[in-house]
């Protein structure tokens, strides 16, 4: 049996979690997921500005901090902190912690192959909208294929303390140590599906251990010291989801089920580069306090096509806010919105969309929000986006003036004019599996 934990559900997750996982109980592998859909484009920009950047900069200092306990406890790390520059990330780790052995998995970056792929007849249509890539070809920033678990497992075979990847399937981070330890084969579909289901459950960190869980959230024990999830994996595919003893949060059927259905489409076809897992075959059983066992998971052969995440410049956006206090807070906020829109209309600007929310009234739940008596204050939040940067810059100057020339009690404008931000958007597409050739490199 091996223990595999996840200590980061995204870049920005709790910094203490990985340290507590390594030091707070028995563990064999620590996985860390740093890459959200749009993170690659931000990293690509950083690498353009500096060829030594383009990776998750939180990771090398963390690796250095963990280094002594990784060695003394025999814990190995699998992380996608490499971003678009895993080699530079590895070099920085070794600069801070020279004793560590680091292996990187390369080959997910297909930015340089886009034109060849298109020439060969691969349209790289957006799998959500069906739009052809040609509509954004000149605005592409990055393109990375989702790599699977096998290249990471081969990197673990080299004996590295830390395996670094760029873009990979999130669940593959946890599946890789199982393949490495148990010798699972590329067509062990049910075993790969079991590991993938368990990996999916832990990939968002404490969302599997009571974080963001609707059911009886008020009774969740000790959120402040929440334990991050770990898998006890066995060679035969039996998996238990648990957490270190003495930590906060809880592992229950509810916390695990909520995470199993999180961010999925057709549950009978959970697609990864390694296997198609059928989540309607997952059988959960209680296995003692804070322990949920998974069994019965079935898998089907892996898809021939790989998902590639392409990022492109979509345009610009700007969001301005003002706060109005009672009495009549909502009426004042609604009046402010009308004034801004009337002034913008007179300026002949170009926007793709202007969107207003009344924060505290309907911002998230819209018409489903519970009715409210007189609110003490309301924030009007007006957002605009479009392709014309000049229009957005003018928009950013149209909200604040209402402090002096609109309805009374406007406040909460301490940040001044809102920033105009570039929108780097996400374009998921499919490419043939043979378009990428994963490679493993030991860095010393």
Partner 1 sequence: MKIRLREIAHARSGDKGDISNVGLIAKEPRYYPALVREVTADRVKSHFGPLVLGPVTRYELPNLLALNFVMEQALDGGGTISLRTDAQGKTHGAALLTMEVEVEPHELTGSA
How far is CA 201 from each of CA 116, 231, 322, rounded to the nearest angstrom? 37, 9, 40
364 binds partner 1 (CB under 8 A): yes
Cβ of residue 349: shortest distance to partner 1, in angstroms? 16
Q: Of the ranges 4-12, 43-51, 180-188, 356-364, which one interacts with partner 1 (CB under 8 A)?
A: 356-364
262 binds partner 1 (CB under 8 A): yes
Residue from 115, 263, 304, 374 touching partner 1 (CB under 8 A): that is 263
10 binds partner 1 (CB under 8 A): no
Residue from 59, 184, 189, 279 touching partner 1 (CB under 8 A): that is 279
The contacts of residue 316 (CB under 8 Å, 6+ apart) are: 385, 386, 387, 388, 389, 392, 420, 421, 422, 423
Among candidates 23, 348, 4, 48, which has minimal Cα distance to 177? 4
- Asked whether the beta carbons of 377 and 360 are under 8 A apart, the reply is yes
Residue from 426, 430, 433, 441 touching partner 1 (CB under 8 A): that is 426
The rounded distance, in Å, linking the Cα atoms of 249 and 222 is: 6
Residue given tokens 């049910």 in the structure block: 190
404: helix, coil or strand? helix
The count of other CB atoms within 10 Å of the CB of residue 52 is 13
Burial 107-138 (b: 16+ CB within 10 A, else e): bbbbbebbeebeeeebebbbeeeeeebeebee
Nearer to partner 1, 366 or 404 (CB): 366
Residue span 171-210 as binding mask against partner 1, x where in contact by CB under 8 A, dash where not: ------------------------------------x---
293 binds partner 1 (CB under 8 A): no
Nearer to partner 1, 164 or 349 (CB): 349
How far is CA 174 from each of CA 2, 162, 302, 307, rounded to the nearest angstrom? 11, 13, 17, 19
Site for partner 1 in 113-152 (CB under 8 A): 128-129
260 binds partner 1 (CB under 8 A): yes
Nearer to partner 1, 77 or 204 (CB): 204
- Asked whether the beta carbons of 385 and 316 are under 8 A apart, the reply is yes
319 binds partner 1 (CB under 8 A): yes
Residue from 231, 381, 402, 406 touching partner 1 (CB under 8 A): that is 381
- Asked whether the beta carbons of 384 and 395 are under 8 A apart, the reply is yes
327 preceded by cis ω (within 30°)?
yes
3 binds partner 1 (CB under 8 A): no
Residue span 214-253 as binding mask against partner 1, x where in contact by CB under 8 A, dash where not: xx--------------------------------------
Q: What is the largest CA-CA distance in the chain?
A: 71
Residue from 72, 112, 219, 367 touching partner 1 (CB under 8 A): that is 367
264 binds partner 1 (CB under 8 A): yes
368 binds partner 1 (CB under 8 A): yes
Residue from 266, 285, 345, 397 touching partner 1 (CB under 8 A): that is 266
The rounded distance, in Å, linking the Cα atoms of 192 and 275 is: 6
How many residues at the interface with partner 1, by CB under 8 A? 51
419 binds partner 1 (CB under 8 A): no
Among candidates 99, 100, 67, 63, which has minimal Cα distance to 81? 63
Backbone angles phi, psi at 184, to 5 degrees: -60, 145
For binding to partner 1 (CB under 8 A), which residues are involved?
A: 37-38, 128-129, 207, 212-215, 254, 257-268, 279-284, 314, 317, 319, 353, 355, 357, 359, 363-368, 370, 381, 383-385, 423-426, 428
């Amino acid at each position: 049996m091996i223990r595999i934990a996840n200590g980061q559900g995204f870049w920005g997750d709790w910094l203490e979690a990985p340290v507590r996982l390594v030091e707070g109980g028995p563990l064999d592998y620590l996985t860390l997921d740093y890459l959200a859909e749009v993170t690659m484009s931000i990293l690509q920009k950083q690498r353009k500005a500096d060829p030594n950047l383009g990776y998750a900069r939180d990771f090398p200092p963390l690796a250095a901090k963990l280094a002594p306990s990784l060695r003394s406890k025999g814990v190995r790390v699998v992380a996608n902190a490499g971003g678009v520059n895993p080699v530079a990330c590895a070099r920085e780790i070794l600069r801070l912690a020279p004793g560590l052995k680091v292996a990187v998995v390369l080959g997910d970056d297909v930015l340089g192959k886009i034109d060849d792929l298109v020439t060969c007849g691969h349209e790289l249509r957006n799998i959500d909208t069906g739009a052809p890539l040609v509509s954004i070809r000149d605005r592409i920033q990055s393109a990375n294929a989702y790599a699977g678990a096998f290249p990471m497992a081969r990197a673990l075979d080299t004996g590295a303390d830390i395996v670094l990847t760029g873009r990979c399937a999130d669940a593959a981070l946890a599946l890789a140590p199982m393949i490495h330890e148990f010798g699972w084969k590329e067509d062990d579909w049910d075993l790969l599906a079991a590991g993938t289901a368990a990996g999916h459950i832990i990939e968002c960190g404490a969302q599997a251990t009571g974080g963001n869980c609707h059911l009886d959230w008020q009774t969740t024990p000790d959120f402040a010291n929440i334990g991050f999830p770990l898998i006890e994996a066995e060679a035969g595919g039996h998996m238990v989801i648990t957490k270190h003893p003495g930590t906060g949060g809880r592992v229950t059927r509810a916390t695990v089920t909520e995470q199993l259905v999180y961010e999925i489409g057709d549950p009978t076809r959970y697609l990864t580069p390694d296997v198609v897992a059928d989540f309607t075959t997952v059988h959960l059983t209680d296995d003692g306090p804070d322990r949920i066992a998974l069994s019965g998971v079935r898998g089907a052969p892996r898809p021939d096509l790989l998902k590639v995440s392409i990022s492109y410049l979509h345009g610009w956006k700007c969001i301005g806010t003002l706060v109005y206090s009672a009495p009549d807070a909502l009426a004042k906020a609604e009046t402010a919105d009308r004034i801004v829109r009337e002034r913008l209309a007179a300026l002949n600007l170009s926007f793709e969309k202007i969107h207003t929310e009344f924060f505290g009234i309907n911002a998230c739940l819209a018409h489903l929000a519970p009715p409210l008596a007189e609110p003490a204050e309301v924030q009007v939040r007006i957002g605009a986006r479009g392709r014309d940067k000049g229009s957005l810059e003018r928009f950013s100057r149209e909200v604040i003036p209402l402090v002096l020339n609109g309805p009374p009690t406007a406040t909460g404008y301490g940040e001044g004019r809102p920033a105009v931000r570039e929108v780097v958007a996400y374009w998921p597409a499919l490419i043939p599996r043979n378009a990428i050739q994963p490679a493993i490199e030991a860095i010393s």
